[in-house]
Amino acid sequence: MASSPQSARKPSRIQLRNRKRILEAALEVFSSHGYRGATLDQIADESGLSKPNILYYFEGKEDIHVHLLNQLMESWLEPLEQLDPAGDPLQEILEYVQRKLEMTREFPRESRLFANEILQGAPRMGPHLQAGLKPLFDEKCALIERWVQAGALAATDPRHLIFSIWATTQHYADFDAQVRVLMAGEKGVLDGAGTHLETMFRKLLTP
Amino acid sequence: MASSPQSARKPSRIQLRNRKRILEAALEVFSSHGYRGATLDQIADESGLSKPNILYYFEGKEDIHVHLLNQLMESWLEPLEQLDPAGDPLQEILEYVQRKLEMTREFPRESRLFANEILQGAPRMGPHLQAGLKPLFDEKCALIERWVQAGALAATDPRHLIFSIWATTQHYADFDAQVRVLMAGEKGVLDGAGTHLETMFRKLLTP
DNA sequence: ATTATCTATAGATCTATAGATAATGC
DNA sequence: ATTATCTATAGATCTATAGATAATGC
């Protein structure tokens, strides 16, 4: 029996490539069926590797899922981190909205993977939210609060403001199946959303 | 072997009560683990009935799930149906927002059940969305459009407006695990949300 | 007589491992 | 020599049914 490459010193090129293929396939499968709904068979099919081969590269189904969530957390925090204390307050927030919407457009599967996890009580991501998201959230809420105090933004609760931004932007990825039915094949849905959200948050925040 | 009560003429009191208990238990289990994540064992435990007894009242796991979704669709449409062409436009929409938020407060499990289903591509609810939600959505969009044309509301895309209302209100139920972490045990989160959303949509829609 | 419930288990599905073989890098 | 891959299958989990027994309503 070969030992798992988990313990190897330097990952070979093949290792890196195959781990990547597996994670890519797993993102596809987990994001559309949820953790329990996904099977190793599906991930094997999607990645073009055999099932035992997948378990050669990862310790198991859960290990793959955890890797995906860890990766995800970083790219999830980034747009909020970019909120710049030195920038123009209204502009900064409107740009944040557009960045989030851009992520919905570029990474809808990641959005659904995250939504699946949170929806089911964040069983594997709870600690990550505490350690990673919470401090950043608090920091940026304090920043927005200072902007409000300085009169650069209309009075608003920064926490609910951020929730509204997350909710409205991620909605187009997470509820895509519903949006598709209701928008009946219309093109450029996200462009329309961009215009709408820009107007909404501008009106809300203009002092 | 007893025949299933599905075909019986008049459901007995016991039948009604037990079917209700099963659906209540299934709502709890399906909404927190998703369709695949839920097991008949969990529903049996939660309902206090034995597993085979559950299958005496329903044809199977999927049958239970479909019953829940059918029930849900009705109560999901109701708040939007109440949007009254004869009412004051701004007031009507703000009241709709509060009704949706009230449903988040009262029926968070139903919200998560729905979110789980849509998130995974609406495999069992797709036709229902087409037949039930789509016509109502179109009707109410046309109504809002008329209000806009009449100058009673600021110019806005009714479809994205409705998406924003759904997204922001349901967020507190669907992403509850995240909201809890970030609001750190604060009381009255939904009251704060109510104030925030009232302000946001009022500013957006005031002509 | 009919309705409701239980124990036991068949049968399907799924994760994971054993153990052998092939490919690759010194 | 080490890394990567395959076939076969063990073992766990889960849905559903068989078949017997208990409770209920005429």
Question: Which residue do the tokens 């313990």 mark?
Answer: A7
Task: Kindly list the distances between the CA atom of residue A127 and the CA atoms of A102, A123, A158, in Å, as whole numbers in the listed order.
Answer: 27, 9, 23
Mutate to test the interface with B, among A65, A134, A175, A206 (most CBs of B within 10 A): A175
Partner-chain contact B178 A129, CB within 8 Å: yes
Q: How far in angstroms lies nucleotide C1's C1' from the CA of residue B1? A: 14
Tens digit of each residue's pLDDT (9 = 90 or more) over B122-141? 999 989 899 999 999 999 99
Which nucleotide C1' is nearest B1 CA?
Answer: D19
State the Cα–Cα distance between residues B179 and A162, nearest whole angstrom: 11
The nearest alpha carbon in chain A to B120 belongs to: A32
Decide: CB of B16 under 7 A of nucleic strand C.
Answer: no
Which nucleotide C1' is nearest B49 CA?
Answer: C5
Instruction: Give me the pLDDT at residue A5, please.
Output: 54
Going by pLDDT thresholds of 50, 70 and 90, the confidence category of residue B5 is: low
Instruction: Give me the pLDDT at residue B16, please.
Output: 81
Residue B7, pLDDT > 60, answer: no
Residue A7, pLDDT > 60, answer: no
Q: In this predicted model, which residue has the larger pLDDT, B6 or B123?
A: B123
Do the Cβ atoms of A110 and A27 come closer than 8 Å?
yes
Residue A163, pLDDT > 60, answer: yes
Decide: CB of B65 under 7 A of nucleic strand D.
Answer: no
Residue A147, pLDDT > 50, answer: yes
Going by pLDDT thresholds of 50, 70 and 90, the confidence category of residue A2 is: very low
Tens digit of each residue's pLDDT (9 = 90 or more) over B81-104? 999 999 999 999 999 999 999 999
Give how far A32 is from chain B: nearest CA, Å: 5
Partner-chain contact A119 B174, CB within 8 Å: yes
Instruction: Give me the pLDDT at residue A85, please.
Output: 98
Q: How long, in residues, is chain A? A: 207
Tens digit of each residue's pLDDT (9 = 90 or more) over A98-107? 999 999 999 9
Closest C-alpha among A131, A3, A16, A4 to residue A69: A131
Average pLDDT score over residue span B109-120: 96
Instruction: Give me the pLDDT at residue B14, please.
Output: 75
Going by pLDDT thresholds of 50, 70 and 90, the confidence category of residue A17 is: confident
Tell me the domains of chain A and their CATH numbers: 5-68 (1.10.10.60), 77-205 (1.10.357.10)
Nearest to B167 among A126, A157, A168 (CB): A168
Nearest to A157 among B182, B196, B204 (CB): B196
Put simply, the chain B residues between 108 and 167 with a CB less than 8 A from any chain A CB are: 112, 115-116, 118-122, 126, 129-130, 133-134, 137, 156-157, 159-161, 163-164, 166-167
Residue B4, pLDDT > 70, answer: no
Residue A150, pLDDT > 90, answer: yes
Tens digit of each residue's pLDDT (9 = 90 or more) over B9-61? 466 777 788 899 999 999 999 999 999 999 999 999 999 999 999 999 999 99
Closest C-alpha among B120, B100, B83, B111 to residue B164: B100
Tens digit of each residue's pLDDT (9 = 90 or more) over A165-185? 999 999 999 999 999 999 998
Extract long-range pairs of A178-184: CB within 8 Å, 24+ residues apart.
A178/B118, A178/B122, A178/B129, A178/B133, A179/B163, A181/B122, A181/B126, A181/B129, A181/B130, A181/B133, A181/B134, A182/B129, A182/B133, A182/B134, A182/B137, A182/B159, A183/B159, A184/B134
Tens digit of each residue's pLDDT (9 = 90 or more) over A103-142? 999 999 999 999 999 999 999 998 989 999 999 999 999 9
Going by pLDDT thresholds of 50, 70 and 90, the confidence category of residue B185 is: confident
